[in-house]
Structure 1
C-alpha cells in the first residue's frame, strides 16, 4: 500500500496542504483500519482526524481521501478488466470489472471531482476548498495511476507468496511471473468489489471472487484456503504496522506550528494546475 500512501501525500500537497511524510504515513495506515467498519466512512474520519494540524485542513484532508481511495479502486478495476480480457472467458467478471472501473474512476477526474465538491456545497464548511481542489490536475491523476499500478502488482505478489505457504502450494504454484496476470486480476477485482460493497473488509464478496478466480487453476478447496489465509495475513499486517506507527510516530500537534520549510515536503509545481 506504500504507493497509495505516497499518492495521497502528493494529493494533499497539490491541494495546498503541508503534511510531513511521517504524519501522512501514520494517518494513512491508521485510517486504513476503518474499512473494517460497515460503510467505510470511518476511513475518512480516522485519516482526516489523524492528519489534521495547523498545516492540514480537515475538510481538504477528507476530500483528498476520496481522491486517493477512488483512484486506487479505479486503477485496480482497470487492471482486472484488461487482464481478464486476455486470460478469462468469463464475460460477467469482465463486465463487473468495467462497471467497477467506471463507478470508481469517473468521479476522480479533476473536472468532475471539482463539480461534485461544488454540488455538495463544501465551501460552507471551508471557504478555501475551491483553492484546494483547483490543485487537482490530470498530471497528478496520471502519476497516481502509474504508482498505484505498482502497488496492485505487489499485492498480487503477496497472494503468490500466500499460495506457496499453503502445504502443497509450492508444487501446485507456478513461478512468480507466469502467475502474476491471474493473481493480480484476482486481487484487484476482489478488493475493488469488496470495497464498493461497503461491507466490513469486503467480507464475503472479496473471498467469493478470490475463490471463483482461482478455482479453475487450483481447485475449490485450495482456493478457499488461500482466501482465508490471505485475509488473515493482510489483517495481521495492517494491525501490526498500525500499532507500530501509533506507538512510535507522533501525530501532528494541535497547537499552532509555524511552517518549517526544512521539515515540510513541498509540492512539485508541476502537480498543480496552472
Structure 2
C-alpha cells in the first residue's frame, strides 16, 4: 500500500471498505445510519477509495454495522455500566454512535491498525485502544484488569479472515475469561468463501476469508451451555430495524429476499451468548 498514505497488512486493508461505506452513506439525504466522523476520516486518508465507488456491497457493510450498533445499544440499555470490546475495531466509530456516557470501551486491533487509529482517536478514562492480535490472550488481561462486566464482544468483519481453529480459540478464550458474555460476529458460508475472488469489494484487495461456517447454530455447540440468541441475513433483519430503513432500501431488500440469492443467504450476522 505504499504511496496511499497508510501502511497496512493485507487483511487490515479491508477495514477501509466499511469505513468508506459509512462515509458514502453519511452523504445521502436518507441514510441507513449517520457517521460524519467516517466522512472526515476518509477525507483525511490518502488512499484510492475510488476502487470501491458504487459497489453494491457497500450497503451490506452499512447494514451490518447498523445491526451491530443495535445490539450494542440493547446491551447498554440492559447494562449501562457494562463493557464493550471491539475486536478488530479498524476505524470503526461505534463509540461515537452508541456510547451512553457510562460504559467502558476497549478497541482491539493489530499494531499497524492501532497506529493508524491513533491519528484520529485518543484514549480516555472510559475508552482505551489495545494493540494486539485477538488470538493473543494478553489483551484479555488488560480488559479484565480495567473494567468489570457484563461484557459485549463485537467482532465485525474479522473472524472470517481467520482459520477455524483460530476462531474456536478466540471463542474459548472469551468464554473462559469472560463467562456469560455476549459475542456478536458475522459468518460466511462455503459458497461465499469459494467465490470471493469475484466479490465486488474483496476482488479489489489481497485479503481472503478462510473460515467457512455453513450453519451458525453450530457455534453454540462449540461450548456446552452456549446459546445462539439471534442470527440474521441482510434480507432478514430485525423487523424494527427493517421498518426504520429508507423506503428504497426496504424495497431492494424485499426484492433480494424474494430471489433467495445464495450469497445473501450464506452471509449471516449472529449474536452468541457464551456460558
Query: If the length of structure 2 is used for normalisation, what is the TM-score?
Result: 0.29
Higher strand share: 2
Query: If the length of structure 1 is used for normalisation, what is the TM-score?
Result: 0.29
| Greater relative contact order structure (CA < 8 Å, 6+ sep) | 1
Higher helix share: 1
For the pair shown, the structure with the greater C-alpha radius of gyration is 1
